[in-house]
Amino acid sequence: MRLLLVRHGQSPSNVAHLLDTQVPGPALTDVGREQAQALVGLLGDEGIGLVTSSPQTRARQTAAPLAAALGLDVEVVEGLEEIAAGELEMRGDEPAVRAYLGVVGSWLTGDLDVPMPGAADGNAFFARYDAAVERVVARARELGAGVAVATSHGAAIRCWTGVRVRNLSAEYVVATGLLNTGCVALEGEPETGWTATSWMGAALDPERAEAAGAGPAGEPATPSVF
């Protein structure tokens, strides 16, 4: 099947560069709502039969215009939430952000036993995100949908795909970044694995994606991954 992982639109904490990972978290900004509406034009012809979202407000609001345009409901799936910041929550200072990204980087390179300060380790993150993806796929199969959307979060999408998707890597997801409402298109199944076919609209080699330093239109990779 085809799974479209979509990062939520801009939130106030994105603008302020804060580690804001709690549930339900903030709503979208005006810009974020415009970005969410733009997904209708970007993804409306993909043949989507299921639209899902993390429980976080910004993700649900991002998914809503697309679902409405397709005559679907947004189905909330537990486990698609952002990587919890724990003791670093709502901090935006450089030491806190470096600590958060350092833990995520450890997970990307295989050290899953490193915990986020005051929160879960990588084993727990991958267990809950794997389970969430499996729930999305199971629901799509139940509906007979060949294409499903999962609206989630920057660090979570990049970390999970950098490890679980066969033609992606830690280097690629870190260097390329994922802008607000950026979409990662995957083909596959939980049982057989996943291949990325595009990242923010840029087609990818099914064997190996090469790391890039900018977004699809020369935009710098976003410093805000939450």
Cβ contact 140:106 at 8 Å:
no
Burial class (CB in 10 A: 0-12, 13-18, 19+), 212: middle
Pairing of strands 193-199, 50-53: unpaired
Q: Which helix (H) or strand (E) holds 73?
A: none
3-state secondary structure of 36: helix
**Quick check: is 8 catalytic?**
yes
d(CA 47, CA 43): 8
Whole-number Å distance between alpha carbons of 187 and 52: 17
List the catalytic residue out of 8, 75, 81, 153: 8
Query: How many CB atoms are located within 10 Å of the residue 134 CB?
Result: 15
Task: Give me the residue label for tokens 């996943």.
Answer: 194
Catalytic pick among 75, 82, 191, 210: 82
CA distances, 188 to each of 7, 28, 193 (Å): 20, 31, 6
State the catalytic residues. Answer: 8, 82
